[in-house]
Amino acid sequence: MAPSTKNTNPKILIADDEAAITAGLSAILGDDGYAVDVAPDGQNALERLSAERYGVVLADLKMPKLDGLGLLRELQQRQIPTECIIITGQATVDSAVQAMQQGAYDYIEKPLNAEKLNRLKALIPKAIEKFNVQQKNRELTSRLEGLTHYAELTGESESMREVYQVIEAVASSTASVLILGESGTGKELVARAVHSKSDRAKGPFFALNCAALPKEILENELFGHEKGAFTGSTNEKPGAFEMASGGSIFLDEVAEMAPDIQVKLLRALETRQVRRLGGKKEITVDIRIIAATNKDLQRAIASGELREDLYYRLAVVQIDLPPLRERSQDIRLLASEFLVRYSGQNNKKISDFDAAAWDWVLSYHWPGNVRELKNAVERAVIMARGTTIGVSDIMPRHLRGTQGTPSAVTIQVGATVQDARRQLVLRTFSSTAGDVARTAKLLGVSIDDVRRDMAALIDGTHSDGKDAEDGAESSGEGKSGGIAAPREKAGSAVKRTAAKKRQPKE
């Protein structure tokens, strides 16, 4: 007898020109609780599938107007979601393989005797399950498409939507989550999103920064203590694990945690039990751990700063949060939101950034990520005198004077790696107003490396040994003064070099 739950299933379409077969099949599937429609030919089936959603199509291979393979092809081309089971009276290996290659879920050979009908009945729920899973994914994807906000996160870039998808997928599970991302990218917001989208949303969310707290305090915060556990502990105190039971704990900068606390954390993760400092009793906790770090974890594991077994426990699901410079299409959205927020908070009527300010905001590489952008906009709102924010309002003091220097580097195809590297060094050197140490820090190279590259540029020596015409002119000023000399002089020397470089050769 038909299980009543099947009534909630998607409909089934039978595409066959044999009325005697479609009537019988409809009755058999209807008796099993499925809602069934019939299309007398392939073209009609395609029209119905375009207009209405069917979980499964049972299509005869040979039909008038559009045959089964043609129908499959059209379904693929038009991206009509359904699972197609081909019913064929001509079950050659070729036609079956062709049907499967074109995306058929399966095929059944005619005549549909009792054995084959049973096989078909067994196939249909599986096909419907596949359709339902894919349907859920499609709905999730379409829900996230066009989304600019997700929980407290803001961003419409592809990379942020991928982050939203991972959060959406992982939230309902109990898996530990490790969030990786540079400082200021919004790791805590991701952690909050995982919590708020989970079944634990009504439970507590407890955030701890492992780098900000001394070892003893962190241990006490995490596990709590019994009365008299140490000097001055006059009362018992539950730790974060206990207080957040039924909710989530967010451990920021987890790689900074002292090794002996890492051992305790690992144990807590494995047994779901904690023991307070000075306590003898094991306390069972129901907790989800969300950890984050901006460290190079491979290096931290190799150097022994982070236990490898703890890493694997924490990184059941890993979320890589992109830096702001890698999702530049989100900068405008974020900047506009911060502008509205801080204008309101400061009772200012600032409507927009002016064109030059937008140019700068959109081209700056934001090493401090969203946090830096947020702070810059807040400062600009406070500093602005008119109804728009100008470039001088938003640009940090240390970057002023390098206004004309483009922050992007364009490398022509055919350039050598060394040329590309020197271009990058040159532009960064220029953007830091000739600060060699800051240039080296930004580029992640040594000061000597920067000096060597700058000297090569000024000497006009390219990797291929040719003289760089544009570098030669400034060599007199640049050799000694361009790098080691005070910043103003160095900056001007470099700017001239860069300006000359853009001129076409005569």
Partner 1 sequence: MSNPPVMSELWLDVLNRVCGKAAHELKGALNGVSVNLEVVRSRADRPDTVASAVSSFAAAASTQLEAVISLSDALLALGRPAREPVDIGLAVRHLATLLAPAARADGRRLEVDGAVSDIGRSMASALAVRATIGTCLLSAIDASTHVRCLVTEEQALQITSCDRATIEVDAGVVAAAEAAGIRVEHTSPAGNTISITFPR
Q: Which residues bind partner 1 (CB under 8 A)?
A: 1, 17-18, 20-21, 23-25, 27-28, 31, 62, 64, 89-90, 110-114, 117
Tokens (6 digits) for 326: 């890698």
- In terms of CB distance, is 89 or 344 closer to partner 1? 89
- In terms of CB distance, is 14 or 456 closer to partner 1? 14
Quote the least distance from Cβ 27 to partner 1, whole Å: 5
**Residue 456: C-alpha distances to residues 462, 482, 495 (Å):** 7, 12, 16
CB atoms within 10 A of CB 63: 22
Quote the least distance from Cβ 167 to partner 1, whole Å: 47
Contact 394, 353 (CB under 8 A): yes
Quote the least distance from Cβ 89 to partner 1, whole Å: 4
- In terms of CB distance, is 31 or 129 closer to partner 1? 31
Tokens (6 digits) for 385: 């005198």
- In terms of CB distance, is 110 or 348 closer to partner 1? 110
- In terms of CB distance, is 24 or 204 closer to partner 1? 24
Helix (H) or strand (E) holding 335: helix 331-345
- In terms of CB distance, is 79 or 113 closer to partner 1? 113
Quote the least distance from Cβ 71 to partner 1, whole Å: 16
State the greatest distance between any 2 C-alpha atoms of the chain, in Å, as a whole number.
Answer: 96
CB atoms within 10 A of CB 315: 17
Residue in 421, 359, 348, 338 with CA at minimum distance from that of residue 388: 348
Give residues with Cβ within 8 angstroms of 238, minimum separation 6: 224, 276
Phi-psi region of 107 (alpha: psi -120 to 50; beta: other; left: phi over 0): beta
Tokens (6 digits) for 13: 């379409």
Quote the least distance from Cβ 114 to partner 1, whole Å: 6
Tokens (6 digits) for 162: 């991928």
DSSP string, 278-319: T----EE---EEEEEE-S-HHHHHHTTSS-HHHHHHHTTEEE
Strand 224-225 with 149-150, pairing: unpaired
- In terms of CB distance, is 112 or 291 closer to partner 1? 112
d(CA 327, CA 440): 24
Q: What letter represents residue 123's amino acid?
A: L
| Three-state SS at 427 | helix
**Residue 20: C-alpha distances to residues 16, 38, 85, 111 (Å):** 10, 12, 19, 13
| Three-state SS at 32 | coil
- In terms of CB distance, is 4 or 231 closer to partner 1? 4
Quote the least distance from Cβ 76 to partner 1, whole Å: 25
- In terms of CB distance, is 113 or 347 closer to partner 1? 113
**Residue 85: C-alpha distances to residues 81, 102, 134 (Å):** 13, 11, 16
Quote the least distance from Cβ 26 to partner 1, whole Å: 9
Quote the least distance from Cβ 57 to partner 1, whole Å: 17
CB atoms within 10 A of CB 4: 8
Peptide bond into 111 cis (omega under 30): yes
Quote the least distance from Cβ 2 to partner 1, whole Å: 11
Quote the least distance from Cβ 107 to partner 1, whole Å: 14
d(CA 138, CA 462): 52
Residue in 330, 284, 275, 367 with CA at minimum distance from that of residue 161: 330
Quote the least distance from Cβ 64 to partner 1, whole Å: 6
Quote the least distance from Cβ 109 to partner 1, whole Å: 9
SS3 track for 142-195:
HHHCCCCEECCEECCCHHHHHHHHHHHHHHCCCCCEEEECCCCCCHHHHHHHHH
- In terms of CB distance, is 80 or 108 closer to partner 1? 108
Quote the least distance from Cβ 72 to partner 1, whole Å: 18
